[in-house]
Structures are given as structure tokens and as C-alpha cells.
């Protein structure tokens, strides 16, 4: 069984959004067209409470894109984005949601960010996605979405480490590319055995 994992195709990551990924909206129709080829379609949704610890606004004197040390390791500080229930947190209007078997939300813990669809950024607290996939007998994953160098990268690397077969359709992703993050992400994914297609 093979699943399509659609990472964070939400308004805030598209042009006009709070953490817009350049050309993030261009991948939506291609993702919709791919959904029919899979036994399972899973959407992830970045879903932060207001005042989340990954927001620069929660740290006096810090600016978006500053790097800070958190108890679980280094953390990039972001503009406020994907606040629970907001327009920015909604999926892109044209993303086909009806076909989704599961929508998994992440980043709801106020103290820890969660780039990966599998674990929070402490790399130990699970989201439950692994159990869902295993109980359904899904062994192979194709990943698409936003952003390639953060949430897609972390999700793909974690999935490969957990033993899933993982392919990232890079044509159906877009990157933030912050201080070389795109190059680092490509190396991390390749090092973990992820196929970059």
C-alpha cells in the first residue's frame, strides 16, 4: 500500500500568507491530479496556538528568522502563522480535501515546534501518524507540499528512518531557502535514503 502525504498546503505558506513560500500555490493542481494514483491520501496541517514558542513575537527582542536555542535544540523563529482556526491555517482553497482519508495536525504543543508529520521537534514525541500508517499496512510514501526545506524534509527523513520507502516529488514542492537550508535539506534527505524525484 502506498500513500500520498500532502504537507502543509495552507494559505499562510502561499503567496499573500504570513510565511509565504515563493510560488507555493503553483503546486496545488499537480497535487490534486496525483491523488487518484494512491490507495491513501493524507494531508498535514500546521496548527499553532496563538503565542506559540516558534513565533518571534513570543520572544522579546527577537525577529522572524532569528535562530534561538530551545531545550530540544536550535529553533528558527517564524512570523506568526497557521494559528488554529485562522484563514491562514486553512488549506489552499483549490486543494482537493475530499479525497483525504486523514488530516493530521501538528505544532499544537505551545512549547515545541513540529516540522515533521511524525515527531515534534524534540524528535521523540510522536504525532500518531506512524501508527496510523502501520495499522493500515502502508509501507511506501510519496511526499509533496510545503516547504521542501522544512516540513517536507523533516517528514521525509523521519519516515525513512522509521523504515518507510519514501519518495519526494520535488516538482510538487517549493522551498523557503533560508541561509542554505535547501542544500542542507537535499543532503539530509539523500543521506537518509529518500528518493528525490
Dihedral (CA of 33, 2, 45, 61) sign: negative
d(CA 175, CA 181): 9
Of residues 77-96, which lie at the interface with ligand VGL (CB under 6 A)?
A: 78
Alpha-carbon 26 to chain mean position: 17
> Considering only residues 144, 147, 185, 194, which one is a binding residue for ligand VGL as defined by CB under 6 A?
147
In the complex, least distance from residue 114 CB atom to ligand VGL, rounded to whole angstroms: 8
- The Cα 15–Cα 130 span in angstroms is 31
Q: Is 150 in the site for ligand VGL (CB under 6 A)?
A: yes
Which of the residues 46, 106, 113, 149 is marked catalytic?
106
Q: Which among 80, 82, 151, 158 is annotated as catalytic?
A: 151
CA distances from 96 to 41, 74, 93 (A): 10, 35, 8
Contact between 46 and Zn ion per CB under 5 A: yes
8 is catalytic: yes
- Residue 3 · residue 118 · CB < 8 Å: no
Q: Which is nearer to ligand VGL, 46 or 158 (CB)?
A: 46
* Residues 158-197: x where in contact with ligand VGL by CB under 6 A, - otherwise, as a string: ----------------------------------------
CB 44 within 8 A of CB 8: yes
161 catalytic residue (yes or no): no
Q: How crowded is residue 196: how many other Cβ atoms within 10 Å of its Cβ?
A: 15
| Nearer residue to ligand VGL within complex by CB, 137 or 142 | 142
Q: How many CA atoms does the CB half-sphere of 189 hold within 13 Å?
A: 27
Q: Is 90 a catalytic residue?
A: no
Considering the complex, state which of residue 75 and residue 96 has its C-beta at the smaller distance from ligand VGL: 75
- Among residue numbers 96 through 135, which ones bind ligand VGL (CB under 6 A)? 115
Q: How many helices (H) and strands (E) does the chain have?
A: 4, 8
Which residues of this chain interact with ligand VGL, rule CB under 6 A?
8, 13, 46, 78, 115, 146-147, 150-151
- Catalytic center residues: 8, 106, 151
Which residues of this chain interact with Zn ion, rule CB under 5 A?
46, 107
Amino acid at each position: 500500500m502506498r500513500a500520498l502525504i500532502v504537507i502543509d498546503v495552507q494559505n499562510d505558506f502561499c503567496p499573500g500568507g504570513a510565511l509565504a513560500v515563493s510560488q507555493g500555490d503553483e503546486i496545488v493542481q499537480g497535487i490534486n491530479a496525483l491523488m487518484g494514483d494512491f490507495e491513501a491520501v493524507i494531508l498535514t496541517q500546521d496548527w499553532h496556538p496563538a503565542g506559540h514558542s516558534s513565533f518571534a513575537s513570543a520572544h522579546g527582542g527577537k525577529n522572524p528568522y532569528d535562530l534561538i536555542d530551545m531545550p530540544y535544540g536550535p529553533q528558527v523563529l517564524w512570523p506568526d502563522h497557521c494559528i488554529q482556526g485562522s484563514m491562514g491555517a486553512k488549506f489552499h482553497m483549490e486543494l482537493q480535501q475530499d479525497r483525504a482519508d486523514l488530516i493530521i495536525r501538528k505544532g499544537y504543543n505551545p512549547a515545541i515546534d513540529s516540522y515533521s508529520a511524525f515527531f515534534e521537534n524534540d524528535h521523540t514525541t510522536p504525532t500518531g501518524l506512524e501508527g496510523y500508517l502501520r495499522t493500515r499496512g502502508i509501507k511506501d510514501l510519496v511526499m509533496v507540499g510545503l516547504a521542501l526545506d522544512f516540513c517536507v524534509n523533516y517528514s521525509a527523513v523521519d519516515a525513512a528512518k522509521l523504515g518507510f520507502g519514501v519518495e519526494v516529488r520535488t516538482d510538487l514542492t517549493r522551498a523557503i531557502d533560508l541561509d542554505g537550508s535547501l542544500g542542507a535539506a537535499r543532503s539530509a534527505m539523500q543521506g537518509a535514503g529518500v528518493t528525490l524525484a
